Amino acid sequence: MRIKICGITNLDDAKAAVDAGADALGFILYPASKRFIPIERAIEIIDKLPPFVQTVAVTVNANKEFSNLGWRKQLKHFGIAQLHGQESPVHAKAVSKYLPVIKVFPADRAAEFDPAAYAVSAFMLDTPSTDHGGTGRIFDWSLAVAFKQRTAKPLILSGGLDPENVAKAIETVHPYAVDVSSGVEASPGKKDHAKLREFIRICKKF
């Protein structure tokens, strides 16, 4: 089972996640998020990571940013773009010129979208939220099971996962990967390293 630890804001948490076996780290470049990190600070952390760690630029409706040449040059430090807003298929295709794309859908609306319309590398389902993630609440995982049947693209499961429920989530959905932020935190933007290690230990059983 592949594991993405999202909401990384400092080097200590990044190193703890990597040392515990995380496959990917997510950096939230959305200023309204409690886990926001400026892109310059994210790059400083990324530059200190070992090889073979995937890095994810998490954005929300970032139209102006992706049209800015300087911002696009900075994005080259990341491996993947995660689009966590109301981005259209056209938006996703435009971003895919620079980075592979993960498109996120709120789970309760996933059935409204046509996966085939999106030129992306993977999809993610998350708990519906006006804050675009970080709710700490799970959703009905049957929605993820149903969505998987509609696409051959990898599905990443997010939303309220923690060491207590992630095994059941994996057994129910059989996702390509899981994504966690608040479920392994001591406070918004600061990870609890014991929870982090336990979450990854459980996931690696699958």
Residues annotated catalytic, as ranges: 6, 126
Cβ burial of 105 (10 Å; 0-12, 13-18, 19+) is buried
Nearest CA among 184, 131, 154 for reference residue 8: 184
186, 166 in Cβ contact below 8 A? Answer: no
Q: How many CA atoms lie within 13 A of 10 on its CB side?
A: 11
23, 177 in Cβ contact below 8 A? Answer: yes
Q: How many CA atoms lie within 13 A of 108 on its CB side?
A: 6
Provide the residue type at 142 as one letter. Answer: S
Instruction: Name the token pair of 52.
Output: 């073979």
Question: At which residue do the structure tokens 């982090």 appear?
Answer: 196
